[in-house]
Amino acid sequence: MNQLIFFPFESYWWFYALFTGFVFLMLGLDLGVFHRKEHEVSIRESLGWTIIWISLAMLFNIGFYYFSLGEFSANEKFLSIPGFNPEFFAKQVSIEFLAGFVTEKALAVDNIFVFVVVFNFFAIPLKYQHRVLFFGILGALIFRAILIALGSVLMQYHAVILIAGVFLIFTGLKIIFSPEKIPDPAANPLIKLVRKFIPVTNEIHGKKFFVRINGKTFCTPLFLALIFLEFSDVIFALDSVPAIFAFTKEPLIVYTSNVFAILGLRSLYFLLAGAVDKFRYLKFGLGFILIFVGLKMLWLNELYDGKFPILLSLGIIGFILALSIAASLFIKPSFRLKRKK
């Protein structure tokens, strides 16, 4: 199934390289300058960083619009297509980025509850949580890049799109109707495997992931927490990456929107960690978003001649999120939602 790709990797590898370099530069500044000394991240600091990451994403999107407009206006390959309008398609790809960013940001909120559980389980002090999340996000970026590269190949086949659509609908229904279960890090097979081959110390040894005791190497609770977070992100990515491919077939847009959403996840965690339980209806909103995205893959795109209107998609997702947040804040349930172990 051949589809027109505006930004193929072989022609825009330098864009990927520059963007990735910018990401690592920001991460280096984050850990090496602003968080060089371990400290408890305040709500004010986390709010500031949340605003910074979102602002950077929006500035990138504005720049991406003008970059796309210039590329489309100068490329004879595109201009030779009947009815091709550079300005229209530049707006289209920038809205696709925004839709991908909002969707990934919304789905990433579910990760925050996992962060809270893991840090409480391993008794990670607040001042070391940022360090664990930093390396967790770094690993997530590497894995997402691999998954997006794989998805860019597989999503060219209609059968794969249908399978992904069914999977997203199933996941959405599962989120809505299945009782919530508190993740148990001790029961995680990866954690069990680590404990089997590497001695584990129960004490926190500062910011260290590994420590030498009596000539023997031990991993600390910080390392176990990091392993569990990486494992959790792999599971979450299986939903979020196909979801963004439902809005765009451009790997460049999937990659950049995904990365920007993940980069701000740490600051969002410190901002919302204490209020996660207040958003009791948000999980239903996330479930309905996945169902909508799955339907878009299976049916709605074909209903609109292969491309469901991206602005309408963005509006639907925004409405679902706003409704679920408003319900959480203003509706007091007559029953108590319980997370089952």
23-81 pLDDT per residue, tens: 888 888 776 666 667 667 777 888 888 899 999 999 999 999 999 999 999 888 888 88
284-332 pLDDT per residue, tens: 888 898 898 888 888 887 777 767 888 888 889 889 988 988 888 887 7
The closest alpha carbon to 238, from 151, 309, 313, belongs to: 151
* Cross-strand partners of 211: 218
- So what's the pLDDT on residue 276? 65
68-121 pLDDT per residue, tens: 999 999 888 888 888 889 999 999 999 999 999 998 888 877 777 778 888 888
Phi-psi region of 83 (alpha: psi -120 to 50; beta: other; left: phi over 0): left
Tokens of 3: 């589809």
Cα dist. 102→30, 41, 330 in Å?
A: 23, 25, 23
Domain boundaries, the chain: 9-182+235-330
140-162 pLDDT per residue, tens: 888 888 889 888 888 878 888 88
169-186 pLDDT per residue, tens: 988 898 888 776 667 777
Confirm if 118 and 183 have CB atoms less than 8 A apart. Answer: yes
